[in-house]
Structure 1
């Protein structure tokens, strides 16, 4: 049984706690947060306000990091230097440049680092990829990804780092919709170029964008359209649509649909749901966390690695460059950001 620690007790941490308790491979033995008042939520588990002290005292096998983005890189470094594996909440880092530093950390340690792109393990997405890869539906031609959500101003004022460029990196594209970017690139393949606009539609006093629209081109010739915003009036269902030469598939409301010859959507499969969680978390965390624990015990790479997470950070970097290059957005080629992995 792996000895597990949890650092950061923010909004997503209850999902991690639930998954750890439900796992046959790990036991939560320590938690850490600077807010000591949260210790009352863990009366039987050692509570720490200092990361170094927890790492030095608790002989941990793996740590879950649920921290502000600017802490992802330095705390990951700290954990692996203490010979501890890391399950890292997305994003892999605050910026593309930091993501490359995380990649170097991965190459220089025998510790495993898993990035929490748990939506890859939703039943709807797994089945979609099986169909695209194994069934006679023709080549993918187009992809659409939509994330129309709502965040009140209090979302940013209650935790100011979320709206700060030097702590969050970006807004909706790195916090709310990076999962959708990740799935788009898994379908589309190797990225070629991007044209994008990052903007603010709310009246909030924040430094990061709350809205983004982009087109991506992949080397395969696939075209993708992406739109994400925190300026809607509610958290509408994320939608991913894939058009192939022969069929049209849509993931929406946690279901995978195929559009039949009469234009009606037919359900193929529905995602598992995590009881009591926000609908958009789903049950993917449990699947990925268990997979990561098994990979530690069996010494495999069957999880989402740092390298796997790089393409979504490339997409964010290209969107940023395209939007800010001139007064009118300019198409940016991937080669312009000098991506090097070796």
Structure 2
């Protein structure tokens, strides 16, 4: 019988608690401990019977988990990630990997030099719907991808901002906070981005950041993607309200991704593939086939994948370099929106990816 993989969770907020729930219920993995600086958070974890530390340093002094999951605020990711790497501990960092791509490069370089697995929690890639869509695209069911339309519209209530005033500040708008998820999926589907051209609209609520932005991305493959994001639009068209990943969000039967190809079209997350009966011809009848997919919670799938990476059985699906590349695109979108000019994305494709460890 395979021994359970012990994983520590750093940060016992909303996201950290979801990961702890997975570790306490999914077979093959278990919670080693929780690291939480806040006294109330530590008390809440202790009530669940979990071993708790108030710092990573104390945890590593007294225990060595098989892996660490960082679910702390983004500004803490680099320092905490470097500490995990220094302790030779495989690390899964919640997205985004860091505040800036420069910081992310520091972290990925350290992991590469130490030979420590570094993963980023872009969990949507572990969603069965995304995996089915990726397989359909790879298998040519839509032909060459020509364009993608992505809608990321939702309304964050006033109390969301009042309970965390930093969310009203410059740099905390939907470009930085929300788009990294969608950008990562676009890269997953279409490959590397060449340029970004964007515009943004100042917050109607008087905050320092934007509340609406649109961007056009061109890919090295020749595909073009259009993205519209807003946290002040009432609409059913966002991943949160269509994917049913998180039960906290009300579910709709809409789709928020439209992928257009030379042979067919694919909508996501409803997984409908549209093709003409007699080949590409707008006068030929067009019908949809619905793809099937695995329905397991992507957080569970991601955690099992992390355990396999720790054991040296797989390479990371979303490595630190992948998290860095997605962050570079988001930075380019923000810079383009500010300057009004198209921005080229520096290529990181020449960097080597992490190879699996030898199983111990």
TM-score class, shorter: 0.7 to 0.9
Alpha-carbon distance, 1:260 to partner: 5.1
Alpha-carbon distance, 1:236 to partner: 4.1
- Counterpart of 1:22? 25
Give yes or no for contact 2:23–2:31 (8 Å, CA) kept in 1: yes
- Counterpart of 1:330? 341
Distance 1:319 1:8, change over 3 A: same
Give yes or no for contact 2:152–2:229 (8 Å, CA) kept in 1: yes
Give yes or no for contact 2:10–2:71 (8 Å, CA) kept in 1: yes
Q: Flag as ranges the 4+ runs of structure 1 deviating above 6 A.
A: 337-340
Gaps of at least 5 residues in structure 1 are 274-282
Bigger drift between 242-251 and 31-40 goes to: 31-40
Give yes or no for contact 1:31–1:45 (8 Å, CA) kept in 2: yes
Gaps of at least 5 residues in structure 2 are 240-255, 277-284, 353-360
Q: How many residue pairs align between the two structures? A: 323
Q: Deviations over 1:211-237 (max 9, x none)?
A: 321001112211110111111236643
Is the counterpart of residue 181 in structure 1 residue 189 in structure 2? no
Give yes or no for contact 1:198–1:319 (8 Å, CA) kept in 2: no
Give yes or no for contact 1:150–1:235 (8 Å, CA) kept in 2: no
Distance 1:93 1:137, change over 3 A: same
Distance 1:52 1:226, change over 3 A: same
Alpha-carbon distance, 1:50 to partner: 2.4
- 1:81-230 matches, within 5 Å, as 81-165=86-170, 169-205=171-207, 207-230=208-231
Give yes or no for contact 2:201–2:211 (8 Å, CA) kept in 1: yes
Alpha-carbon distance, 1:173 to partner: 2.7
Give yes or no for contact 1:292–1:303 (8 Å, CA) kept in 2: no
Alpha-carbon distance, 1:263 to partner: 5.8
Distance 1:90 1:136, change over 3 A: closer
Question: Which residue of 260, 281, 285 corresponds with 1:243?
Answer: 260
Cα distance in 1 between the residues matched to 2:331 and 2:19: 28
- Counterpart of 1:279? none
Give yes or no for contact 2:142–2:273 (8 Å, CA) kept in 1: no
- Counterpart of 2:10? 7
- Counterpart of 1:256? 271
Aligned to 2:203, what secondary structure does the other structure show? coil
- TM-score, length of structure 2 as denominator length: 0.82
Q: Deviations over 1:188-246 (max 9, x none)?
A: 222111100133334053x4433321001112211110111111236643211110001
Alpha-carbon distance, 1:117 to partner: 1.0
Cα distance in 1 between the residues matched to 2:121 and 2:103: 17
- TM-score, length of structure 1 as denominator length: 0.86
Alpha-carbon distance, 1:271 to partner: 5.9
- Counterpart of 2:311? 297
Cα distance in 1 between the residues matched to 2:146 and 2:140: 15
Cα distance in 1 between the residues matched to 2:342 and 2:71: 34
- Aligned-residue Cα RMSD (Å) equals 2.4
Alpha-carbon distance, 1:133 to partner: 1.4
Cα distance in 2 between the residues matched to 1:7 and 1:134: 39
Q: Deviations over 1:143-196 (max 9, x none)?
A: 11111122123222322344445xxx5432332232211111122222111100
Bigger drift between 261-270 and 137-146 goes to: 261-270
Give yes or no for contact 1:153–1:204 (8 Å, CA) kept in 2: no
Alpha-carbon distance, 1:334 to partner: 2.2
Cα distance in 2 between the residues matched to 1:161 and 1:60: 33
